[in-house]
Homo-oligomer: A and B are copies of this chain.
Amino acid sequence: MTQNVYKAHDHHVCIDSAVSRARALCEEQGARLTPVRQRVLELVWANHKPVGAYDLLPKLAEEGFNSAPPTVYRALDFLLDLGLVHRISSLNAFIGCTHPGEAHPSCFFVCRECGEAQELDAEQVNTIARQAEAMLGVKVEQQMTELMGLCPRCQASA
């Protein structure tokens, strides 16, 4: 399992390591982690809940960044391209990737109560893809899986 969101942890470590992995990855790829891009990444990592593009706008504005939709979407697209964040389609929201660098399908569990998301290892999704390729002749290029339900904490407090 990539990392367990439900275990107590010092969240600053999450943010810091996300940023340093991003820096390294950009270095490696010859991409530029500009201030807006880095700040957007940090804001996405502010917690383990997927965040909407429009939620980021006012935060960027507060800090003197330009804040029009294209600014945020461009930063998010950049981060998506590098695999630094994933998009949770069913929520129109974005969340930090826990293991960027390695190509992998997007696979998350999202709690419908608290909204926290847990990235999952997704070997089985690859199985689905390979099976579809074998049986139907399709060629799979991208994969995403989203599970919804209740996280352990929200089950307990229900």
Contacts and interface: CB of A to CB of B under 8 A. Distances in A.
Contacts of A90: 89, 144
Contact of A111 (B128, B138, B146, B148): B138
A136 interface: yes
A132 to B, nearest CB: 5
A155 to B, nearest CB: 6
* SS class, residues of chain A in contact with chain B: mixed
A1 interface: yes
Interface of A: 1, 4, 6, 89-90, 107, 109, 111-112, 118, 120, 122, 124-125, 127-129, 131-132, 135-152, 155
15 contacts: A1-B136, A4-B136, A109-B138, A109-B140, A122-B128, A124-B124, A124-B125, A124-B131, A129-B147, A138-B149, A138-B152, A141-B149, A143-B145, A143-B146, A144-B145
